[in-house]
Structure 1
């Protein structure tokens, strides 16, 4: 997986200083975030929970966008490499939490299986008419047929082309989700969790949005509100996210997108909008070209600044894995105030699973590394295998939230790359993106709530 939309080109300009800058800044931001800890702001019956993951994104973004001593493209490339490894290590740890709970999840299987219905309903049924009414035109199709994670972005490039309005919609929602999705979903999950309307398990199921960072943010907020159910919340959120990663893309391509295109035509006629989002009379509207890849030409899609590619020698990869492992252990030590010798071995196992998942993803590109690592870690830690006790012993003291803090700090540090693309976004797309995230999450949680209480 990659958080860079532009093509990265090899460059010899990445030096030791760039590594040092990224390592020092990410560790410093992570440490400050952990020390700040959790801040709970009560808003009537609900609460907004600000915890280390949110501080890490915010503080990292401040450093990543400041102009006094801007972070260089080469340093951002290093941060992106560490980020890609860190998010898979985080998923590996989540997998080791899912495995021991598999036997307990049998009763909520239907709720997990039906979550995609909630996601489709939330995005296409709720967000699409708002996007059309705001005048986004065909951009609305790309912005609302899913929450537009990496696989959907790649599909949009191939299906519609980078100059199409559909691609601009997908890109905008993807970009906003990558940069701010974790913060937004964590705030929303904390707010809804504080209202006590939803079963926390239903909210956890709703977090299967296909984004590890969003799931991490939301599950972290819920775990703080319901500490006694924290392990179950994390396991359900991760399992739900795994289902979305496996079947969500196909549901989006074969169900959500065709439905979205048909409903787009209906809403465009109802609101009197053409494919550029302009208001038209009924006579003009009747003669309008139907939505499709060959419809009206569109201006260039926003693009991110291209950063150089880090040459991936075996020494570079070993360094990157080492940095991710050590920073995760440091944050775990700082947050839990405890270290046992098994922590080091546990981290080594998580790093090995991460490396294996990347290799398997290269051999079978249709299955991303995130799915590989979550599935393998879940199976190996399941109680029906003899390896379960080993995983439980060696990784039991590794707090998954604390391990995720450095990864979120790295996301913030890379924000500067996307400033040109952010400036190109319309405020209307931002509103639609937030509605898309919210509607998908809430609709899936509502469906989960219904199934859990049948």
Structure 2
């Protein structure tokens, strides 16, 4: 994440990586054997996937006090999550190529539904935050789902010690801890209503977070297994569009709009405060206000530093990260396939090659992220227009995408213990606001996509 000071980046090798990898391997295999559970909640059914069990069990291990999991080990787990996302994107890219005709047909709907992702949080979560009197933190917390790119936007406009920046940090912590689990439950419930087109639901899953997209897409696939390839391809493309457009929309549209909407909703409150100051003793009130603002800025600074410390990056050698993830992935994929197969190894070899090539291209260009290269190249080489698409698709599709998500979220769970102490700093108000923000982004996008698909299909 971005702060005003240079982010601390440490290096780690096998000494720290092997223990956390072994722990993740045991947990991931265990939850993969447990499988999924379906819970009837009256208004629908909720499916709990192995990846959710992995996240929860990993979290429990990371917070237990019997044999505490060190901060460096948790940071290694977080570093592995970042690379696991690339493998997940590589796997999903092989669902995009075969689904390109469907994606192209849904093109206008795919673009139009992004309005829901990019502005849904402002429409619903911001008024709730105002109602709960979150103050100026409302703007930072609700202009987007607040993943890493949001930090720079808000810091540049309002400053790193501002209430708005505190709002960004609060939503970031909330999303990190609860986002994947909540969207799994939400999507599972909505998908099992069977009132939306599965492609509309898949577009709604692309909220701009790799882990949340994977969790959401899994729930949709469980409800519509016959449409798995199209669902995964659509979700991956929607997520990529949200990620790419999110920066520009956030800077030029969402953040200014959230600021104006907040001021409009709090105009009467501000007017009453101004009238009270005018009627009272201006000098004393001004001094008190300055003291209060200084204290709040100091509190915001300390919170920012705690979040920065918690999320400080740790750098692992790429060969080590990919080797560990390959072993974990092949193990969980073998359990999912109910047996080891060399085809699974071949599938991982293809995905690893794609990831390595994309990272090299990203470093060479310095302008385009590896995820964009992975998605684009993967979609092409899995499409009917590539001469070797058949054998490549056959190899990669032996790897269950949920098995990769299980590894990724298990590692995420193991990294979350360091973030739990931050809960006392973000306050209870961010919980309902965060839940509404995620719900708004998913549901509004899905509804728009549903109507748009009806118009263009």
Alignment of 1:225-240 (within 5 A): 225-240=223-238
Matching residue within 61, 64, 81 for 1:63: 61
Q: Structure 1's 311 and 138: CA in aligned 2 closer, same or farther, altered over 3 A?
A: closer
SS in 2 for 1:453: helix
- Equivalent residue number for residue 253 of structure 1: 251
Q: TM-score, normalised by structure 2?
A: 0.89
User: Is 2:119–2:143's contact at 8 Å kept on the other side of the alignment?
Assistant: no
Conserved? CA contact 2:102–2:230, under 8 Å:
no
The answer as to whether partners of 1:179 and 1:411 remain within 8 angstroms in 2 is: no
Equivalent residue, structure 2, for 1:188: 186
- Answer with 299-308 or 336-345: which moved more: 299-308
Secondary structure of the 2:106 match is helix
Q: Which residue of 1 aligns with 2:282?
A: none
Counterpart of 1:277 in structure 2 is: none
For 1:106-255, what aligned pairs fall within 5 Å after superposition? 106-255=104-253
CA distance in 2, matches of 1:325, 1:187: 28
Match of 2:389 in 1: 388
- From the superposition, tell whether residues 189 and 273 of structure 1 become closer, same or farther in structure 2 (CA, over 3 Å): farther
Count of residue pairs brought into register by the alignment: 436
- Could you list the per-position Cα deviations for residues 70-108 of structure 1 after superposition, in whole angstroms to 9, with x for gaps in the alignment? 111221232122211111101111001111110122221
Question: How many angstroms apart in 2 are the aligned matches of 1:336 and 1:440?
Answer: 34
What is the root-mean-square deviation of aligned Cα atoms in Å? 2.6
What does residue 261 of structure 2 align with? 263
2:379 is aligned to 378
The offset of 1:181, in angstroms, is: 0.9
Does the aligned pair in 1 maintain the 2:334–2:341 contact within 8 Å?
no
**Greater Cα shift, 215-224 or 151-160:** 151-160
Q: 1:112 and 1:401 mapped to 2: Cα distance?
A: 24
The yes-or-no answer on 1:361 pairing with 2:366 is no
* Change in CA separation of 1:265 and 1:311 when aligned onto 2, cut-off 3 Å: closer
1:239-388 superposed matches below 5 A? 239-270=237-268, 272=269, 280-281=272-273, 283-284=275-276, 298=297, 299-301=299-301, 302=303, 303-304=306-307, 305-306=309-310, 310=314, 312=316, 316-388=317-389
Aligned to 2:440: 439
Normalised by the length of structure 1, the TM-score is 0.89
8 Å Cα contact 1:116/1:248 also seen in 2: no
* Cα displacement (A) at 1:248: 2.2
- Structure 1 residues 344, 453: CA separation in 2 closer, same or farther (over 3 Å shift)? same
Once the two structures are TM-superposed, the CA of residue 160 in structure 1 deviates from its matched residue by 2.8
Task: Report if aligned partners of 1:76, 1:307 keep a CA contact under 8 Å in 2.
Answer: no
Q: Residue 26 of structure 2: which of 21, 25, 28 is its match? A: 28
Q: Distance in 1 between matches of 2:388 and 2:165?
A: 45
After TM superposition, give the deviation of residue 57 of structure 1 in Å. 0.6
Question: Following the alignment from structure 1 to structure 2, what is the Cα–Cα distance between the partners of residues 351 and 417?
Answer: 30
- The residue that corresponds to 2:92 in the other structure is 94
Structure 1 Cα separation of the partners of residues 142 and 322 of structure 2: 36
Alpha-carbon distance in 1 for matches of 2:203, 2:359: 26
Cα deviation for residue 371 of structure 1 reads: 2.5
Q: Distance in 2 between matches of 1:449 and 1:309?
A: 40
Q: Which moved more, 1:361-370 or 1:139-148?
A: 361-370
Alignment of 1:37-48 (within 5 A): 37-48=35-46
Secondary structure of the 2:429 match is helix
Measured in 1, the distance between the counterparts of 2:314 and 2:256 equals 39
Higher helix share: 2
C-alpha displacement at 1:361, in angstroms? 3.4
The Cα shift of 1:405 comes to 0.8
The worse-fitting range, judged by mean Cα deviation, of 141-150 and 295-304 is 295-304
Shift of 1:48: 1.1
The answer (yes or no) to whether the contact 1:119–1:441 under 8 Å persists in 2 is: yes
C-alpha distance after superposition, 1:336-372 (max 9, x if no partner):
1144323212212211222333333344455333233
- Contact residue 207 and residue 215 of structure 1 kept, 8 A: yes
Conservation of the 8 A alpha-carbon contact between 2:9 and 2:315: no
Secondary structure in 1 aligned to 2:72?
helix
The answer to whether the 8 Å contact 2:138/2:167 transfers is yes
Whether the 8 Å CA contact 2:93–2:379 is kept in 1: the answer is: yes
Matched, 1:75 2:67: no
**Which structure 1 residue ranges, 5 or more long, are not aligned?**
275-279, 290-294
